[in-house]
Every structure is written in C-alpha cells, then in structure tokens.
Amino acid sequence: MAIRIAVGAGAARILRQFLAEGILLALLGAAAGLLVANWGIAMLIHFGAAAVPRLVETSIDRRVVAFTFGLCLGSGILFSFVLLTGAGLMVKSFWKMYLNPPGFAPEDTLIMKVALSGPQYAELLSRIE
C-alpha cells in the first residue's frame, strides 16, 4: 500500500483495492464452504440414509447458492469497511502522537546498552531471564 500511495494512487483507488481483495476472499470462502457442504451432504446420505427419512432428497439448490454468495458479498464489503476504519483511526492516532512533543529532547538523548558478563553476574542473569 505504501508503494501504491508513493506512486500516486488516490484514496478511492486504495479503497477499491481493499474492497476487491475483501470480496474476492469472501467469494473464495463461500465457494469452499459450498464444496464442504456438498461433501457433507454426500457423507450424510451415504451413512445415514436408512436412519433419516427423505435424506436422499437433500441437495444444494440455486437459492442456497444465491443466499451464500449474497451473504458473502455483504460480509466482504462490511469487514473491508471495518478494517479500513480501524486502519484510518490508527494512522490518525499515530499522526497526533507525532505532532505532540514527547516531553524530552530526543536529539540530546544518549542510549547505551550494558552487557553483564562474568561469573559474578551469573545468578543475577538467571533470575532476570
């Protein structure tokens, strides 16, 4: 996304890409779900046809497929917007943190790391880790 924004993609273009990815993933999930459901029905018919009356008449018709893909498209669009809203709020929070001073002068700060080694620090290091 950073590269796409850097080369000039607008917010609408990025939104379209997120929606396309979300809807594609949702459709693939719906297709996989229908395949598993079809397999499950075949297994039920194979193992339980004698126990359940009219089980052999069970199938997945056009209404089930249409409902599945409609629900899939709706959830894909909804969750793309939820993720985009969360990402936008996170970027806004980071921007506000960047604009506020941290309370110290970071350019005059010295950072140092001390490594304790040797037998006299072995007990202390074992308690820390």
pLDDT at 40 (0 to 100): 92
Range(s) of the domain holding residue 85:
2-128
Residue 28: pLDDT band with limits 50, 70, 90: very high
CA distance 29 to 70: 12
Count of the separate structural domains present in the chain: 1
Six token digits for residue 65: 């497929």
* Chain segment 52-89, per-residue pLDDT in tens: 888 888 889 999 999 999 998 898 888 888 887 888 89
